[in-house]
Amino acid sequence: MAAAVARGVSVPELPRLLARDPYLAPFAPDFQRRYTLFHDRLKNIEENEGGLDKFSKSYKTFGVNQFVDGGLYCKEWAPGAEAVFLTGDFNGWNPFSHSYKKIDYGKWELFIPPGQDGFSPVPHGSKLKVVIRSKNGEILYRISPWAKYVARVDRNVNYDWIHWEPPLPYLRKHPQPKKPKSLRIYESHVGIASPEGKVASYKNFTYNILPKIKNLGYNCVQLMAIMEHAYYASFGYQITSFFAASSRYGTPDDLKELIDVAHSLGITVLLDVVHSHASNNCEDGLNKFDGTDSCFFHSGPRGTHSLWDSRLFDYSNWEVLRFLLSNLRWWIEEYGFDGFRFDGVTSMLYHNHGIGTGFSGDYHEYFGLHVDEDALIYLIMANHMVHLLHPESITVAEDVSGMPALCCPIAQGGGGFDYRLAMAIPDKWIQIIKELKDEDWNMGNIVYTLTNRRYEEKYIAYAESHDQALVGDKTLAFRLMDAEMYTNMSVLSPLTPVIDRGIQLHKMIRLITHALGGEGYLNFMGNEFGHPEWLDFPRKGNNESYHYARRQFHLADDHILRYRFLNAFDRDMNKLEERFGWLASPPAFVTENHESNKVIVFERANLIFIFNFHPSKSYAEYRVGAETQGKYKIVLDSDAPEYGGHQRLDHNTEYFTEKYSHNYRSNSLLVYIPSRVAIVLQNMDIPN
């Protein structure tokens, strides 16, 4: 490493990054070192593996792969093994009849010729196991790390590896959509996407949920818990089989159909990919695959996450790099995913995994020996590969630390991600609702939180995600309305102050987050209509109940219930963004955040957004700044009756600007602003 850094490779566009943020200048050597390490790793792949394209398609040679003539080629990396065998239904579970041959660098291979009838010796749907004889003579039965399908058969505790080679595999019918300019993400979990107390299916999601998502105006689905995980209650974050789509929802072909149908609706599909850690399961996971505590992971304490009780990858290892890069390629090319949301990036970036660390934003926190540069180089390599081979793909980083340049181009010395999650925003809303009276809400603090992001790095804003829906936490709707959601959400019951406040603030919070908080927007399924209660998967602590592991979509379809008002507002908010594209526009210009009036005003995408958070004060003729002169009209009003509002605004009203500067804008206009309302005005003189 020292030799590589001494040699150095110039970062092509680093001056552009440093010109944009001069405070990064003292860390230019760090950017150069990181870029040099990436460059050298890429060069080594080109020289020793025949290029990144071939290297990242190793799933075609590792695991068990069928030749055209029916023969099988089997390959594993097990550096700690003394011997490797393949067993299964095909050989009557004889553990030693089919022995792998040891080749270079801890790899093993086996060729099984086709049967006399020309068919594969291992039929589709039959069970397999890799048998490892460890250095100490122990015999271990393992699932191949490259297994493409695993399932829990009957009442077995562990998963079985099932050879997946259907005679008529699913063929895609629809092209992948172009990368959206504005990203409106519907974060989803297939298993809970039903009001019934059971594990829902890929088929259910395809035919019952995708049309809802399309109707709501979202153009992207982010699928959680797809990579196989033995423990359902882990929410999909304790992966056991990285190349297998979870069988609890259906077959691989069912998932391919789901993605294909989403594409037919113009919906982009992202995979919530977990490369930050792996389940510590041995018999049906990666842990101790070859009998050692290392193999894919760091050995000793460095290889275990103290809070998650899971294994941590050794990103400096050549074969780990092959495995993880090929995994990304597999999900894109085999299933048709359009990109990834990388989970646990903060845990990857730092040797302390961010545990007990409150990142202050001091730049010294992001550079130095405490940064795991092997993990960072892997992430840069992953982004390089994904965007090089599939330019329309999207990558999103879940990083709470705020590492600078993570979402800048690699050529500038950045991490290469397209977006990062704006993780401070939901925490801010929780803190405000939990700790402050309405009259004490700080408008400046809200605006600061929503606009505090790195220039030219794109952020996904969200008011709440799956994290806030989990048991032990509360959704925004539940925080706002709590127990009254059980008794007063019917239009046949009186509109209580608690429900009225909750409905109005729920809409306002989501719109201001959508319009001011970033360059993309995310919503967790069901939260758009204020889904009641929390999310809790079946586990011993709740007697294996599915009662809270479901989404009650029927609540938003019931015209007697007030959930439909929130659902309609969310839909029209997204449809308005689709028309005007504020997420793809430059950041908003905030003209006002008035503390005593509780008013926030900003302009973005030729629209004026007006928010009055005051619980009781309305303003008859409130002067609002406007840069462009003309005639304005209301295009979205949270107070409209179809959104559960009080219909205090006349949508036929025309607002004309005056040549009167106000709040640093050249023009202004007078607007009636009722209490607890959000209004969006369009300049009718500017063609949309």
The residues carrying an active-site annotation are 343, 398
Report the 10 Å Cβ neighbour count for 110.
Answer: 18
Element (H, E) at 631: strand 631-637
Dist CA 617 CA 122 (whole Å): 74
The DSSP-derived string for 5-45 is HHH----TTHHHHHHH-GGGGGGHHHHHHHHHHHHHHHHHH
142 touches 289 (CB < 8 A): yes
Dist CA 504 CA 480 (whole Å): 10
Q: Which of 116, 59, 652, 37 is nearest to 378 (CA)?
A: 37
142 touches 296 (CB < 8 A): no
Angle formed at CA 677 by CA 676 and CA 682, multiple of 5 degrees: 160
Dist CA 16 CA 408 (whole Å): 11
189 touches 466 (CB < 8 A): yes
Helices 252-264 and 318-335: angle between axes, nearest 10 degrees = 60
Sign of the dihedral defined by the CA atoms of residues 507, 210, 416, 37, in that order: positive
Name 677's bridge partners: 612
Using DSSP's 3-state secondary structure scheme, residue 637 falls into strand
Sign of the dihedral defined by the CA atoms of residues 569, 571, 573, 579, in that order: negative
Dist CA 90 CA 121 (whole Å): 7
Dist CA 85 CA 108 (whole Å): 9
Dist CA 670 CA 594 (whole Å): 16
C-alpha distances (whole Å) from 544 to each of 195, 226, 535, 537 are 17, 21, 13, 8
Question: By 3-state DSSP, what share of the chain in percent is helix, strand and coil, each rounded to 5?
Answer: 35, 20, 45
Helices (H) and strands (E) in the chain, counts: 17, 29
CA atoms lying within 13 Å on the CB side of residue 512 = 30
Can you give 268-337 as a three-state secondary structure string?
EEEEEECCCCECCCCCCCCCCCCCCCCCCECCHHHHEECCCCEECECCCCHHHHHHHHHHHHHHHHHHCC
Dist CA 29 CA 22 (whole Å): 14
Tell me the pairing of strands 127-134 and 160-162: antiparallel
Q: How many residues does the chain have?
A: 688
Q: Which residues contact 687 (CB under 8 A, 6 or more apart)?
A: none
C-alpha distances (whole Å) from 339 to each of 71, 177, 269, 335 are 33, 12, 7, 11
Residue 231, Cβ density class (10 Å: 0-12 exposed, 13-18 middle, ≥19 buried): middle
Dist CA 57 CA 62 (whole Å): 9
Report the 10 Å Cβ neighbour count for 224.
Answer: 24
Dist CA 636 CA 576 (whole Å): 8
